Amino acid sequence: MLREGSINEAGSWQSDGNEVDRCARVHRKLKRIVSARGKLDAEEAAALREARTLGLWRRYGYASLVEYMEREMGYSPRAALDRLRVAKAIEELPLIAGALTTGELSFSAAREITRVATPDTEQAWISATETRNLRQVEELVSGHKPGDAPDDPPDPKLVTKRLAYDVPPDVYALEREARKRLEKLLGQRLDDGAFLGAVFRLALEGTNEQVAGRAVTADASSQVDHGHAHDGGRTPIQDASTNVDRGRAPYQLAYTVCTECKRGWQDGGGITVEVPPPVIARALCDAQELGSLDAESPERAKQTIPPAVRRLVMRRDHARCRVPDCRCHRNLDVHHIVPRAEGGSNKPDNLLVLCEAHHLAHHEGSLRIEGTPANTTFVRSPNNRFKIETHVVETTKALVTLGWKRHEVKAAIDATRAHVGRADLPLEEWIKIALSKCPRPS
């Protein structure tokens, strides 16, 4: 027996001709929307590939293309990563790209089958998903590796299961700290399966047992490298608490800077390369200065920021980047809001923590930082400050090579800066203008 009113709520069993026409019209409309969405997804994938090639995110002061997509396009980090992976994959899978463009294949289905499809198997995967919903497509893909066909038997070792937990904030913080500690001990990044496997083995076997072939101890401090610079002189912050306690600057024995022209060079892998001015400016914010390389005896090394102050700022900013929505807790610098060259001090109210990427974005000019640590504003604005600073260095080098004296070059560069302003001129124009500002040879 039906309850009272249930017929009206569920709709009548019979419809007149008008309702049939309306249903058909709405059905066609929805199918057109699906098709249009597929075309937009394909266009977006092409645009994302171009954005990756251009390094678009740097132009607008973001640390990565994922952050750009999160802030400018409204995607979650996971959705952004999926979009980027599919965009890259369909470059080599023209049939899937075509099916996505025509609406025959939804983005969700394309996301799944691009995990396993190759140019030889993509048609088979498209055909296999025509009558399946997304859940069935996920089950079909699970257990297969790239190159497998849909009718190949799944490999049980490749079948994944999803675990989801809702935890309070303190447990969430513990998970992040545990992941950092295990990654440092094992010497590699861990995906979710490897991380949880290591945690579960530690719980079952004890903290002094072997994990993935490496000894894991309850106290990881002995594993921290206190004296060596890695990755071209940059010491990544593998454990925030350890780094905070040391207070050591991240740039050590990495760059050589000319005291006159401010050009800089980086040593790495047995070679020396010149680096652009924003990289030097970033390093000088938070560095260990070794003194002149031409001195008769080594000078006493000193940090641009005293270790005690650096530790305090790291603790105050919770050892993570202060840019809103940035989740970075590695490769951290301490930045001077007002540069030291402009009278800025090493007091904590002039310092804040930035990740390497956002710190470089600031010195390139695409991320403006103002205010105090308690009330900081971050403004992204595309500009050509990086190109201007590069032109300054190159023009200075050209004038010095042509024989002008340092003070003459400096005056000509200052006059050229004022003349050019923020105009986007090529290097040749810079040199011509600078030559016109130089004194005539006697």
- Indicate if the pLDDT at residue 373 is higher than 50: yes
* pLDDT above 70: residue 72: yes
Relative to beta strand 264-268, strand 375-380 is unpaired
Share of the chain above pLDDT 70, in %: 78
Which range among 69-78, 186-195, 270-279, 318-327 shows the weakest confidence by mean pLDDT? 270-279
CB neighbour list of residue 171: distance below 8 Å, 6 or more residues apart: none
Three-class SS state of 268: strand
Q: Is the pLDDT of residue 367 over 80?
A: yes
Nearest to 79 by CA among 119, 109, 108: 108
148-187 per-residue burial string, b: 16 or more CB within 10 A, e: under 16: bebeeeeeeeeeeeeeeeeeeeeeeeeeeeebbbbbbbbe
CA dihedral 235, 241, 247, 252 (to 10 degrees): 0
Residue 371 has pLDDT above 50, yes or no: yes
Length of the chain: 442
Exposed, middle or buried, 422 (CB in 10 Å: 0-12/13-18/19+)?
exposed
**pLDDT-based confidence at 410, cuts 50/70/90?**
confident
Question: Greater confidence, 343 or 441?
Answer: 343
pLDDT 10s digits, 1-34: 444 444 444 444 455 667 888 888 999 999 888 8
Give bridge partners of residue 247 from the DSSP assignment: none
Asked if residues 235 and 333 have their Cβ atoms less than 8 Å apart, the reply is no
Give pLDDT, residue 12: 47
What pLDDT is stored for residue 271 in this prediction?
Answer: 63
**What's the topology of domain 17-153?**
Arc Repressor Mutant, subunit A (1.10.10)
Structure tokens at 75: 């995607």
Is 89:80 a contact under the CB 8 Å cutoff? no
Q: In whole angstroms, what is the distance from residue 239 CA to residue 413 CA?
A: 44
213, pLDDT greater than 50? no
Which residue matches tokens 């990086």?
386
Residue 316 pLDDT class (50, 70, 90 cuts): very high
More confident residue, 184 or 269: 184
Residue 103, pLDDT above cutoff 90: no
| Per-residue confidence band for 243, with pLDDT thresholds at 50, 70 and 90 | very low
Instruction: Taking residues 309-317, report their average pLDDT.
Output: 93
Q: What angle do CA 255, 257, 259 make, to 5 degrees?
A: 160
Q: What is the mean pLDDT of residues 95-122?
A: 91
Amino acid letter, 368 = R
Q: How far apart are CA 355 and CA 335, in angstroms?
A: 10
In the predicted structure, residue 398 carries a pLDDT above the cut 80: yes
Kindly indicate the confidence band of residue 269, based on its pLDDT and cuts at 50, 70 and 90: low
Compute the radius of gyration of the chain from its Cα atoms: 29
Span 309-333, average pLDDT: 88
Helix/strand/coil for 340: helix
* Average pLDDT of span 320-331: 84
| Residue 195 identity | F
pLDDT at 131 over 60: yes
On average, the pLDDT of the chain sits at 79
**Degrees (nearest 5) of the Cα angle 51, 52, 54?**
65
Exposure b/e, 295-308, CB count within 10 A at least 16 = b: eeeeeeeebbbeee
- Give residue limits of the domains in the chain: 17-153, 169-221, 240-380, 385-437
- Terminal alpha carbon distance of the chain: 110
C-alpha of 213 from chain center: 30
Q: Which two tokens stand for residue 200?
A: 């579960």
Instruction: Pick 405 or 204 by higher pLDDT.
Output: 405
Which residue shows structure tokens 């695409």?
A: 366
Q: What is the pLDDT of residue 394?
A: 86
Confidence tier at 117 by pLDDT (50, 70, 90): very high
> So what's the pLDDT on residue 177?
85
State yes or no: pLDDT of 242 exceeds 80. Answer: no
Range among 136-140, 245-249, 260-264, 340-344 with highest mean pLDDT value:
136-140
Stretch 168-173: mean pLDDT, rounded?
80
| DSSP three-state, residue 423 | coil
pLDDT at residue 261, rounded to an integer: 60
Q: Look at the alpha carbons of 157, 160, 165, 171 in this order and tell me if their dihedral is positive or negative.
A: positive
d(CA 10, CA 378): 53
> What sign results for the dihedral spanned by CA atoms 149, 150, 152, 154?
positive
Q: What is the distance between the alpha carbons of residues 308 and 314, in angstroms, rounded to a whole number?
A: 10
Residue 216 has pLDDT above 50, yes or no: no
Determine contact, residues 104/119, Cβ cutoff 8 Å.
no
